[in-house]
Chains A and B, each alone.
Chain A
Amino acid sequence: MTTASQPVLLEAVGVPDGHTIASYRSRGGYAPLEQVLAGKQPADVIEMVKSSGLRGRGGAGFPTGLKWTFLPKDHPGPIYLCINADESEPGTFNNRILMEDDPHQVLEGIILSSYATRASTAYLYLRYEYPQSWHRLQAAIDEAYAAGYLGKNIRGSGFSLDVYLHRGAAAYICGEETGLIESLEGKRAWPRIKPPFPAIEGLFRKPTVVNNIETMACVAQIARRGVDWFKSIGVPADPNNPRDPGSYGPKLYCLSGHVEKPGCYEAPLGITARQLIDGQGGGVWKGRRAKAVIPGGISMGLMTESELDTPLDFAGPGKVGCLGLGTAAVVVIDDQTSIVDFLHNSCRFFAHESCGQCTPCREGTSWSLRMLERIKAGKGRLRDLDLLAEIGGTMGMMPGSTICGLADGAAWPIKNAIKKFRGEFEDYIKRTNPSGWMVTDPVPALQIVGAH
């Protein structure tokens, strides 16, 4: 596959005042929108996005154009577009850069997507922890209204759109699409049971599409550079597998952890973890080797050092037992880091963020954290590893035991860590609890340490 040499999604990074409308226009921005509004129908835009093979960049990788077609035809409205700017997956920060450095790219994508889906209002749900993005986005929205790209009868097309920022309050589960919707509606962010799906009954019980920030940026670039351009980048669909939608387009990879050069790097979908770490990343830090690498945000689990040649496209990580590509946030863990500490950190995160609605996740995340705390306190048992593996294997949407995928995200690091690094866990437990590692009966709990 051809590689893209110049950054496209990140074209404004480093450009002075790159976040302004003037700068965006000088780079060709908003011309595609004007052309679409002047001569294309919403169905044309849907077709364009479908043909491009764009898959959602928020973590699930669902084909974007296809998702838009789930909206009911001829609905009297209102139809809503929710932009998921709640980016909270540990290791992930590409949305932040897009919003801070090129908010108009995101906005143009939003306006095009709203036009395609006939949404009359777009709510941009922005996490609290991004105040700079808040300011940049609000300024961009104001500029767009002033330029006539938002509001009533945009550019005389008859299409009207309002975009509103809505601020979150530091809860990870608001990144789940129906958790986001519940939060926007003013309630606790407990994800909804499906069906009904948001396209049928979403925000305020109206048809709703929820899309990620990076996905919106891709829509703007597809409109500017074309479907063929987008499809020339990445990994094409497997001709032997009619269900494979391929992994097209440029992707923003976030690289962090134990690397020399943490940062957000644009590359065609399909780059391997090793290429990213040794190339853009400057290698594992301090001359060390990698012990484990998260492929796409902590929910995706772990790859071992020998698995680093896995292509980071939508299909790759699954082949080595990870949950998927997720947010393409690559986090490197060096060989001097205890995997027990890693898993404790992961379990603490998910216990803190579990919304608490359904039994397996609420109790499973809490139970696994407490076991990790006890293991770290030198009172672990080998038996705990079996229990952790069982929790990891039974908690989640995939077996059907939970309402949303947070539980799958909580389970996967446990599953991968225990399976791929069991020896290290066993050594740690035996070493730190020489008198008790073999006990199989229940043991007294530690003083319960809250995850909050």
Chain B
Amino acid sequence: MIAHKKILTDEMVAKIEALAPRYPNRRALTLPALHIVNAELRHVPLDAVVEIAALLGLAPAEVQDTLTFYQFFHQEKPHGKVRAFVCRSVSCALRGGDHLLEHLCRKHGVEPYGTTSDGELTIEPAECLGACDFAPCILANDDLLKNMTPEAAEAELKKPRARAT
């Protein structure tokens, strides 16, 4: 039997454990743990869920239950190095948010939530990014792209970008 290769690195585990004193039980580490793994791997594969569950003393189904609720963590494969959240809530929609999303998806040949084949870019609809003063806007990793037009967005998304926190 081939030994299962660990997904969680020692560094990830250390980061998770460092947060343990903040909470009175281990279950509260679930969401922070998912973020720590996701920040590193750009997704949380099923095997990672098993390891997180073991680390926290939970059943894998309990962690997966929480994970899938947020509709936020990719699981099958990593999302793009740039994860572009295109806002489609009312204030951005009133100023072209839906058209922006549709344009970008078409231009990069992906469906919403899809990743380009080179693994560089994921385009996802987002609900109200809280930047309605700069609608329509896009959150690309840590950067808020303001007052976007399709052309400005294309230019921005070509730029290399630091990974998300």
Contact = CB atoms under 8 A, between A and B. Distances in A.
Do A's and B's CB atoms come within 8 Å in the complex? yes
Interface of A: 78, 87-93, 95-96, 121, 127-132, 134-135, 162, 164, 166-172, 183-189, 204, 254, 256-258, 262-264, 294, 298, 329, 331-333, 337, 341-342, 345-346, 348-349, 352-353, 355, 452
A183 B30 CA distance: 9
Contacts of B24: 78, 204
B94 A298 contact: no
A296 B30 CA distance: 33
A167 B69 contact: no
Contact of A185 (B28, B71, B129, B135): B28
A96 B130 contact: yes
Nearest to B33: A186
B126 interface: yes
Contacts of B85: 129
Contacts of B62: 187
Q: Which 4 A-B pairs have the closest CB atoms?
A: A186-B30, A256-B132, A188-B69, A169-B70
Interface string B1-39: 000000000000000000000111101111110110000
A185 to B, nearest CB: 6
A172 B127 contact: yes
Which residue, of B66, B94, B130, B141, has the highest number of chain A Cβ atoms within 10 A? B130
B94 A349 contact: no
Contact of A342 (B27, B90, B132): B90
Interface of B: 22-25, 27-32, 34-35, 56, 62, 65-66, 69-73, 85, 88-91, 93-95, 126-135, 139, 141-142, 144, 164-165
Contacts of A353: 127
A186 B130 contact: no
B17 to A, nearest CB: 15
B114 to A, nearest CB: 13
Contacts of B71: 170-171, 452
Contact of B127 (A93, A169, A349): A349
A406 to B, nearest CB: 13
Nearest to B144: A132
Given A129-B129, A254-B133, A262-B133, A171 B72 contact: yes
A166 B141 CA distance: 18
B133 A169 contact: no
A410 to B, nearest CB: 13
A88 B90 contact: no
B132 A92 contact: yes
A166 B127 contact: no
Given A87-B130, A90-B128, A186 B93 contact: no
B91 A257 contact: yes
Contact of A294 (B29, B32, B65, B90): B90
27 contacts: A87-B130, A88-B127, A90-B90, A131-B165, A132-B142, A135-B165, A162-B22, A168-B31, A169-B31, A169-B34, A170-B126, A185-B25, A185-B27, A185-B28, A188-B65, A189-B69, A204-B25, A254-B133, A256-B132, A262-B133, A262-B135, A333-B94, A337-B94, A346-B90, A352-B127, A355-B69, A452-B71
Contacts of A298: 89-90
A121 B65 CA distance: 27
A186 B66 contact: yes
Contacts of A171: 69-72
Contact of A257 (B66, B72, B95): B95
Contact of A186 (B27, B35, B95, B165): B27
A152 to B, nearest CB: 14
Nearest to A130: B130
Nearest to B127: A349
A331 B126 contact: no
A78 B165 CA distance: 31
Contacts of B131: 93, 96
Nearest to A167: B35
B137 to A, nearest CB: 10
B28 A184 contact: yes
A64 to B, nearest CB: 22
Among B69, B126, B139, which residue has the most Cβ atoms of chain A within 10 A? B69
Given A298-B89, A345-B93, 11 more contacts: A92-B128, A131-B142, A184-B28, A187-B66, A204-B28, A264-B133, A294-B90, A298-B90, A332-B94, A345-B89, A352-B127
A313 B90 CA distance: 22
B130 A93 contact: yes
A376 B70 CA distance: 28
Nearest to B94: A257
Nearest to B24: A204
Contacts of B23: 204
